[in-house]
Structure 1
Amino acid sequence: MAAAPVWSVDPRTGKRREQVAVEATAEEVDTAVRAAHAVRGALADRAVRSAFLRSAAAGLDAARDGLVETADAETALGPVRLTGELARTCYQLRAFADIVDEGAFLDVVIDHPDAGATPPVPDLRRHKVPLGVVAVYSASNFPFAFSVAGGDTASALAAGCPVVVKAHPDHPALSELVAKVLRRAAAAHVIPADVVGLVHGFEAGVELIGHPLVAAAGFTGSVRGGRALFDAAAARPVPIPFHGELGSLNPVLVTEAAAAERAEEIGAGLAGSMTLGVGQFCVKPGLVLVPSGAGGDRLLKSLTDAVSDTDAGVLLDHRMRDDFLAGVRERAALADVESPVTPGAGGEHTVSAGFFTVPADRLTEEGAYGVLLEECFGPVTVVARYTDEEQATAVLSRLPGNLTASVQLSSREAAGQGRGADLLAALTPLAGRVVVNAWPTGVAVAPAQHHGGPYPATTSTSTSVGGTAIERWLRPVTYQNTPTALLPRELLDDNPLGLPRRFNGVLER
């Protein structure tokens, strides 16, 4: 049977642009993984590794115009958004190069023998080593930042792990172009091109997670797809770590005092956050708890005005558009659910933004209203009107894990007067990032960033954004009573590499 073609499709028209590749067979996936495994030693030198990452960033910068044009043709996300996302991607690669040069991620710890300790301590020297080949599953909504050259790839390469990327079907032509840039950057440092593999097709993704030489996987996508891969990773004869970002409602709680103080500002901010990128951000606020009363009414009017002025937009593909329309129909059919601005079809290929309102006590009921506590991908949110703090807390207690949880406080509450601290304590168990008086959309690439959260937001406690994302692809190894001549250079007493480390209990930098 001939391999199925892989087409580049224009989401603005639904028409095919060009055939980009063919779906990889099981044999081709095997070849890509084995080739990556065979060249993993090429990333052992940290200086070469960091230079490779910087060259990759420079190559993407140099190819910016063509990459953005192709990305826009396949995603309809627009040149402005995509240019910014590409810049973020290049910054991320350079940031990981700096982390590789610094070396703190190796977590070097050296303890000399201490016969007087209880129990006695032998000579122990610990650092972290790469896991091996990493399978990366590209995301649809971030064709640069969470795809072929995105955070999973950048952090895995920084850790010293080759990658085999499963391209997303929504941007296959871009995936091919970006992979070529990465391979050219590798060649510039005499690194074999096979450190970056690329495969297409659903079955290729299934084969990839089961390959015995794949040591870990990173995924950004749907709960259904991510959970299937997570289960497959756990069911292997040798289970592997699966770091998946699956889905998130990203709740927001607006206090009564905050609504009274700045209702119009909060309403306009919410509109901007929920419609950003046509509502296709993984941290889009999908549930907003707003108080009943005059302040909440003013907030809703501001939200209504702002959302009504939002142009219809194109979703990433027609399957997502169909799912969005089905989701809003299901929510609109529920009793007591109203739509001040009705979300839905904006045209043959577009969707219109909107939002629903519902009494908060409905969300504490079992049954059909549970759908309002699930993510709906696209420009829509649910505003739940609560009558008192107990009702709001009851809704929060029903929520699954999230990437973010936000609270809008008054100036007095933010200054520590009132229940601000209590509300933060209530939100903290729900999410990996707690946001105060701001909106969750926008995930800065910074050392303190955490992009993860309790399941189903993610399948692990790690972050996929920021410097500590590198930790996902490493494992610690301790050498005991090992002769100096046999030790890795990272673990020598005289520290020839100048690494940050803990030496006999003292932190050295």
Structure 2
Amino acid sequence: MLTSADPRTGRAWPTGIEATDAVTVATTAAAASKAFAVTRWSTRAWRAGLLDAIAVALESHREELTGVADRETGLGAARLAGEVGRSAFQFRLFADALREGSYVEATIDHAETTELGPQPEIRRMLVPIGPVAVFGSSNFPFAFSVAGGDTASALAGGNTVVLKAHGSHLETSARSFEVISDAVAGYGGPAGTIGIVYGTEAGRVLVSDPHIRAVGFTGSLTAGRALIDIINQREEPIPFYGELSSLNPLVITPAAAAARADAIADGLFGSYTLGAGQFCTKPGVAFIPVGADGDRIVAGLVERTTAANAQVLLNERIVTSFGEIRDRLIAAGAASIAVAGAVDSSGFAASPTVLAIDADAISPAVAEEAFGPLVVVARYDDLEEIYAALDAVPDSLTATIHHEPGEPIDALVRELAPHAGRIVFNGYPTGVRVSWGQHHGGTWPSTNSQHTSVGVSAIRRFLRPIAFQGAPESVLPSELREENVDGVPRRVDGRLRIG
């Protein structure tokens, strides 16, 4: 029997949940495949209604879900209640996207004679890819877990979903699954539209199952590599969309340091300790200029850190890893200059920590993500030192620039752009807006995909293109028929038509 634990006390208890055996994993994946034979042909309007029903169900069980999650994560009722709201918002956002319809990329090229001679009619759009395995993450028990964006975007695309529950919040996952599956059944969705498995081995078996056609994963680089290795051994490899590791460099220019040192110290402290530093967008390294202005930022950061208390982490494994990585960074040349209050040994906690190093001394050994409340301060004399250091810093989900109006930062933006998926100006990367314009992705090792895992275009991961050449109108999807009854934005003979 699998156990769960309260990270504030370390107390564990049996959940009553058994690890899913290989036979049951196979049965669950087969049920998802059978349901996909129905959902793949469902209309956008039907799926939009399904997502709205799930959003209503989540909100109606908000208090119950929050209570279960708080016991397993220690994240607090207010944070968790907001996260349930975010999950419901994501489902509704994808429902809106379904009704609008531009995500299908409907394209019609009528038959005509061109300079290449007579050309046939071609009609193309995006269609669902198949049953999707979704791995819940540890740090967001709702928004990136069973009720998360991967689930919402996969269902929106017409796919079915098999979830692998995260071991840090098994009971939260189980109850979230019950709420969603009841909503699906109540709406009239086919059995197998959504399924769930438990245990590490079940996750390995799941990604190797031939019924699974794509994988959405948020977690460690090590676990992601292990799943990729399994997928590559399949007879038919499938897409793996992983969010894996991110250091998220933050650069403070000399003018910004001079203008608002105290505000930056306060903002940086709040960002690197938000959620006990267990956000994938936490700034892990901050480039601060040498000199009196930079000294004020560092002093403010040290003051706030030493006055802070130890913070609860999600599980014992994260605590152990945090300590090991902190020690490795110090051994590699990063000096400890600030540590918060003592760790409560009765639970899973860590002290916020500030390490410091010269920017020109940064090496890959120092540029390792520490999942928890730790930031490395890198002091620089000129921007060229930052550019050189970026070669040692792994590419990230985000990069941040604090600057002042009129200050020349074009070269800095050009240097950072190849290393990040989102560039933040005069703000902090923690906190990810769920919207049409969001891009929550980056190059390896932050993700292994060009696609985002947050926002409407996350649906693109779980779709594939199909073209119909010379097809009779009766077999075409409504989005590709001559009369645009749904008012879907389409590109017709090279021209974009809205409605």
TM norm. shorter chain > 0.5:
yes
AA of the residue aligned to 2:335 = E
1:352 aligns with 2:342: no
| Stretch moving more, 292-301 or 231-240 | 231-240
Q: Identify the residue that residue 342 of structure 1 maps to in structure 2.
A: 339
Q: Is the 8 A contact 1:153 1:163 kept in 2?
A: yes
- The whole-number CA distance in structure 2 between the counterparts of 1:129 and 1:298 is 55
The residue that corresponds to 1:257 in the other structure is: 255
1:453 aligns with 2:442: yes
How far residue 174 of structure 1 moved from its aligned partner, in angstroms, is 0.6
CA distance in 2, matches of 1:449, 1:217: 21
In the alignment, the residues of structure 1 paired with residue 231 and residue 342 of structure 2 have an alpha-carbon distance, to the nearest angstrom, of 38
Q: Per the alignment, in what secondary structure is the counterpart of residue 29 of structure 1?
A: helix
| C-alpha distance after superposition, 1:33-83 (max 9, x if no partner) | 000110114431222211111111111101011100110100111111111
Give the C-alpha shift of residue 345 in structure 1. Answer: 5.6
**Residue 67 (structure 2) aligns with:** 69
Please name the residue that 1:190 is paired with. 188
- Could you tell me which residue of structure 2 aligns to residue 305 of structure 1? 303
Please show how residues 281-320 of structure 1 align to structure 2 within 5 Å: 281-320=279-318
1:149/1:117 Cα in 2 relative to 1: closer, same or farther (>3 Å)?
Answer: farther
Is the counterpart of residue 506 in structure 1 residue 489 in structure 2? no
- In structure 2, give the amino acid aligned to 1:313: Q
| 2:370 alignment partner in structure 1 | 376
Cα offsets for 1:280-307 (capped at 9, x unmatched): 0000000111111101100011111222
CA-to-aligned-CA distance 1:128-165 (integer Å, 9 cap, x gap): 11000000011000000000010100000000000000
Aligned to 1:367: none
1:12 aligns with 2:5: no
Which secondary structure does the structure 1 equivalent of 2:213 belong to?
strand
Opposite residue 12 of structure 1, the aligned amino acid is: R
Q: How do residues 95-114 of structure 1 correspond to structure 2 at under 5 angstroms? A: 95-114=93-112
Contact 1:267-1:302 within 8 A present in 2 as well: yes
Which of 460, 481, 485 is residue 474 of structure 2 equivalent to?
Answer: 485
Counterparts of 1:438 and 1:331, CA distance in 2: 26
Residues in 2 aligned to 1:127 and 1:157: alpha-carbon distance in whole angstroms: 17
Using structure 2 for the length normalisation, give the TM-score. Answer: 0.96
- Residue 498 of structure 1: CA displacement? 2.4
Aligned-pair distance for 1:310? 2.3
Match of 1:137 among 118, 135, 138: 135
Shift, 1:361, TM fit: 1.8
Shift of 1:496: 2.4
Q: For residues 371-410 of structure 1, what are the structure 2 equivalents within 5 Å?
A: 371-410=365-404
Partners of 2:69 and 2:172 within 8 A in 1: yes
Percent identity, aligned pairs only, is 44
Question: Which deviations, in whole Å up to 9, do the C-alpha atoms of 1:200-220 show, x marking residues without a partner?
Answer: 011110011111110000000
SS in 1 for 2:406: helix
Amino acid at match of 1:388: D
The answer (yes or no) to whether the contact 1:246–1:457 under 8 Å persists in 2 is: yes
In structure 2, runs of 5+ residues without a counterpart are: none
CA drift at 1:258: 1.3
Cα RMSD after superposing both structures:
1.4
Q: 2: distance between equivalents of 1:323 and 1:345?
A: 18
Under a length normalisation based on structure 1, what TM-score does the superposition of the two structures give?
0.95
Whether the 8 Å contact between 1:248 and 1:456 is mirrored in structure 2 is yes
Conserved? CA contact 2:136–2:163, under 8 Å: yes
Give runs of ≥4 in structure 1 deviating > 6 Å: none
Q: Which residue of 2 aligns with 1:29?
A: 25
> Aligned to 1:218, what secondary structure does the other structure show?
strand
Amino acid at match of 1:6: L
The letter of the residue matching 1:453 is: G
| TM-superposed deviation, 1:167 | 0.2
Contact preservation (8 Å) 2:332, 2:366: no
Give the distance between the partners of 1:320 and 1:441, measured in 2 at CA: 19
Distance apart, 1:344 and its partner CA: 8.4
Listed one character per residue, the Cα deviations across residues 413-462 of structure 1 (whole Å, up to 9, x for unaligned) are 2xxxx2x1111111100000001111000000011000000100001100
Verify the 8 A CA contact 1:328 1:344 in the aligned structure 2: no
Distance 1:42 1:380 in 2: 48
Residue 414 of structure 2 is aligned to residue 425 of structure 1: yes
Distance 1:345 1:319, change over 3 A: farther
For 1:272, the equivalent position in structure 2 comes to: 270
1:119, CA displacement in angstroms? 4.6
Alignment coverage as a number of residue pairs: 494
Q: Give deviations 1:313-358, integer Å, cap 9, x for gaps.
A: 11000111111112222223344x3222126861212211111011
Unaligned runs of 5+ in 1: 365-369
Instruction: Give 1:391's aligned amino acid.
Output: E
Amino acid at match of 2:176: V
* Alignment partner of 1:467 is 2:462: no
Q: Is 1:38 matched with 2:34?
A: yes
